Structure 1
């Protein structure tokens, strides 16, 4: 396994009006992202991550049961199987963030991880679920209406090219899971997101480089672009990026364009940084009991 791995991050706008049927959203978005994945492969990408719930709008802007129709089983749903075939064809690892249904009507915000031979390695379920309004129109980040909190911990997947962890959007505000992904062996963590301009934008390039430095791994942050009708609750500001364990930006996307960005991951740098900054050696877990004992 080479020390040098090409990482592809894909950010895109949603091209379908929110009033259209769920099936139309999924068909158009999947078609679009398959083309972008092929573009990323042509540019040398070996591991590719898409944005949060890539196959439609950020429907959590409203609270409607319509969007439950977008959920699928993982790995037995059609979208996972389709991208397993694509991963095998292109010999790439795909981090695939989709809306998951378990059983009859239990829903999670999930990312499936597919290896370069097309095999399904497992999934991560978003742990931290926001629920907050934006403005007077009643729009917001109404995620507790759609998702249960994750219940599968912070797994790391040993892919053909690197050990991969996943954190999803709002998770990025919580350093505890970011550390657990490092403890579980992650060499790179992906954070597929859907976040709009405003209060959180200044944190976009602050928190995640800090996670990369504190935990000694690469981090790929992915955000969608554009305005999404009919909600238009804010601009999804893109600026997807790959950051290294020294907190340096390896590659950064534009603010307002569909874009495939490619950055190189150097595993030797991970070892060098961890040998220099012995954060794992010097941490004191026996002193942290209050983190779980104290309630707000």
Structure 2
């Protein structure tokens, strides 16, 4: 692409209801379009609070079909505003079968692609295995008018394998809708280490694959559900810090830790080609020596 790609990341908080959150997203999409953005990335599970702080069968009522009411509204906005939009929803696929699913619209109401979160955490305050079936669509980039999008979701961001698989399949960008934050009980030094690690590992994915990377996180404090007695039930302070990195890990834009922000960046898509010529990591991979990557661990 000869012209820079203008991207937007909408860093938001939970507004209290699905409709209020979708209203806030509409405002953000209209702002992005007014600033000539072409691609907008939303945060993980943007329709509500991060409900995985506890295990409750009642939370499954938040899920919806895809296509469904939210995709209808977001798709209509993508078509009206001529945007490529990457959304993130709690998908009800069938009774007892649910996914954490990213949905892509390519300047049209119709869905042009989906990605179901592959790596599912089960940690204090992040009890996702109770809710989400691991993805079964693989690491397949989604073709859009702005390029092939390597869409991954949150916990996927800690795994170099997912980013590499997307790169090997021809992704032009890596995108991570995210919901991650601090345990309020942690010391400030630990909080800083966690946030820095989150940023560093994703910048590493950009470098190792020679690709631009977009990470969109939520912000704000979300209290633990009142029925939660598990360890870590102190609530989560989501740390925002959404960012855009170039193919050498350079920051193109970075958001604050604690406020709503529409982050805008111009991404030079030609740089990936130039960087890969001087750092030909894909050329020098020893594919003949990596068989043990298919093992859980070498005992």
TM superposition score normalised by structure 1: 0.91
**Structure 2: gaps spanning 5 or more residues:** 183-190, 226-233
Q: How far does residue 118 in structure 1 lie from its aligned partner after superposition?
A: 3.0
- Call closer, same or farther: CA 1:214–1:141 in 2, change over 3 Å: same
> What does residue 83 of structure 1 align with?
74
Q: How far does residue 175 in structure 1 lie from its aligned partner after superposition?
A: 0.4
Secondary structure (helix, strand or coil) at the match of 1:95 reads: strand
Q: How far does residue 233 in structure 1 lie from its aligned partner after superposition?
A: 1.7
**Larger deviation, residues 102-111 vs 46-55:** 102-111
Q: How far does residue 200 in structure 1 lie from its aligned partner after superposition?
A: 2.7
Q: In the alignment, is the contact (CA less than 8 A) between 2:239 and 2:257 conserved in 1?
A: yes
The CA distance in 2 between the partners of 1:119 and 1:15, in whole Å, is 26
Q: In the alignment, is the contact (CA less than 8 A) between 1:2 and 1:161 conserved in 2?
A: no
Q: Is residue 2:126 matched to residue 1:141? A: yes
> What does residue 206 of structure 1 align with?
200
> What does residue 250 of structure 1 align with?
252
Q: Is residue 2:109 matched to residue 1:115? A: no
Secondary structure (helix, strand or coil) at the match of 1:45 reads: coil
Deviation string, structure 1 residues 46-96 (Cα, Å, up to 9, x no partner) = 00010000000000011111221111122x211112111111101100001
Counting matched residue pairs gives 281
Calculate the aligned-residue CA RMSD, in Å.
1.4
Q: How far does residue 2 in structure 1 lie from its aligned partner after superposition?
A: 4.4
> What does residue 186 of structure 1 align with?
171
> What does residue 61 of structure 1 align with?
53
Deviating above 4 A after TM superposition, structure 1's stretches of 4 or more consecutive aligned residues are none
**Larger deviation, residues 282-291 vs 209-218:** 282-291
**Structure 1: gaps spanning 5 or more residues:** 17-24, 134-139
> What does residue 9 of structure 1 align with?
9
Q: 2:238 aligns with which of 236, 254, 259?
A: 236
Q: 1:94 aligns with which of 77, 85, 103?
A: 85
The CA distance in 1 between the partners of 2:68 and 2:236, in whole Å, is 31
Q: Is residue 2:67 matched to residue 1:71? A: no
> What does residue 259 of structure 1 align with?
261
Q: How far does residue 186 in structure 1 lie from its aligned partner after superposition?
A: 1.0
Secondary structure (helix, strand or coil) at the match of 1:14 reads: coil
> What does residue 288 of structure 2 align with?
286
